[in-house]
Chains A and B, each alone.
Chain A
Amino acid sequence: MDRFTGSDLLCIRGERMVFTGLDFEVSAGGALILVGPNGSGKSSLLRLMARLLKPVAGGMAWNSEDVSDDPDAHNARLHYVGHMDAVKPVLSVAENVRFWAGLRPNGQADPVAATARALETFGISHLADIPGRFLSAGQRRRVNLARIVASPAPLWLLDEPTTALDKQAIASLEGAIIEHQRGGGMVVLATHAAIEAQTPSVLDLGDFEMAEVA
């Protein structure tokens, strides 16, 4: 069974220590929910997990194999949803999703069908041929989420995925997350909204802040 672990992580942003001595563990089918006040390092931790940031100290391992040994293999097993939706204004919704699905080696043989299914999941099939520039913020977010459903990857790193989403879309997202977990996938989620996931464990980043030095 796959396990993704981090130990003794230290993150410094702009000479400020964000968190220190942080450990985490997610295993196949599990969910880790990051909570904590603004600025407590939820996004930084997700970016560390994606290796967009390098930890100042500590390390992360996938099945006890250091993730920095093979960065491309780590990239192949993760999907990251950040603050920006990466929807190209001049490409249609389907073209946007299909491009990202096609870049992944473990994608389905047929990216067109996978894209259609992913758009269906988030209720945006009717927008398939609409260029990205005509989408609302919520619709753009749905396209971004459809991107991660269109090609399978075991690890989802979601940073405030519910931003701009309506109730119905949040329900679709919860459905997608539970489906993903049933298939043995793992989710790490930073959120202020209540999102349903199976057997979630909660990591409060407020616990890892350095005590203020007077």
Chain B
Amino acid sequence: MDRFIRLVGRDLRLAQRHGFDSLLVVVFFVIAVVLFPFGVGPEPNILARIAAGIIWVAALLASMLSLERLLQADYEDGSLELLVLSPVTLEVIVLAKILAHWLTTGLPLIIAAPLLAVLLNMNVEGFAILILALLLGTPTLSLMGAVGAGLILGSRRGGVLLSLLVLPLYIPVLIFGVGAVDAAIAGFAFKAQILILAGLFLGTLALCPWATAAAIRQALE
């Protein structure tokens, strides 16, 4: 456990020293969302109708943006090799890296989301559910994305490949994330969607560290 914290701490410190890199993700998120009122027009009713969808799609894209660096930097300088050779089980190392990724990208997105919801004139009823859904959804995105990040190790133009691999997998999270918020705004029950999001999170939590570790071992051969 002590070493797990050490691993998370290292990645957080690296992110903090790189400073601007993790800020970029949030800035991208904000800009992507702000573009929509310009594109579809400033009609408040239309914006309110599509607010949840816009925020979720932008969050998916933003969280994907930073995935390429999740393992690639360590792969390029040889650190990944040494991490695989450290006495800590690789699956645990992967989980620590995913947690650090979520803390530096997912969490800032959740903090920025309510602000953007106000900007898009989203109904206030949906705010709490939006945050709850993002809290369950963004870790799932980081977990699924890690598998993609492991698979693209060593390939050139990995970033484009990564989006092709990962974005289709994000669709269930998008559907139920938006569904929960829309249901809450319309006054319907939203428990089912939240439970499915929680299920997706737990499922990926169990599976993705293994898959990522296998992809890393494969890449280092």
Enumerate chain A interface residues (CB-CB to B < 8 A). Answer: 50, 52-54, 72-73, 75-76, 78, 80, 82-88, 90-91, 95, 99-100, 102-105
Contacts and interface: CB of A to CB of B under 8 A. Distances in A.
Nearest to A84: B78
A88 B18 contact: no
Contact of A72 (B17, B78, B89, B220): B89
B13 interface: yes
Interface residues of B, number: 21
A129 to B, nearest CB: 14
B155 interface: no
Kindly list the 3 A-B residue pairs having the minimum CB-CB distance in the complex, ordered from nearest. A84-B78, A90-B17, A76-B87
Interface in B76-110: 77-79, 81-82, 84-89
B214 to A, nearest CB: 13
B10 interface: yes
A85 B77 CA distance: 7
Main secondary structure of the interface of A (DSSP, over half): loop
B81 A80 contact: yes
Given A75-B87, A103-B87, A80 B82 contact: yes
B3 interface: yes
Nearest to B75: A84
Contacts of B17: 90-91
Contacts of B220: 52
Nearest to A78: B85
Contact of A84 (B77, B88, B89, B221): B77
B191 interface: no
Contacts of A95: 13
B40 interface: no
B86 A86 contact: no
Interface of B: 3, 6-7, 10, 13-14, 17-18, 77-79, 81-82, 84-89, 220-221
Contact of A99 (B6, B18, B85): B6
A53 B86 CA distance: 15
B18 A83 contact: no
9 contacts: A75-B86, A80-B81, A82-B78, A86-B77, A86-B82, A88-B14, A88-B77, A91-B14, A105-B3
A82 B81 CA distance: 9
Nearest to B88: A103
Nearest to B74: A86
B77 A54 contact: no
A85 B221 CA distance: 18
Nearest to B84: A52
Contacts of A104: 86-87
Contacts of A103: 3, 6-7, 86-88
A73 B88 CA distance: 10
Give the residue among B17, B18, B82, B89 with the most A Cβ atoms within 10 A. Answer: B82
A102 B87 CA distance: 11
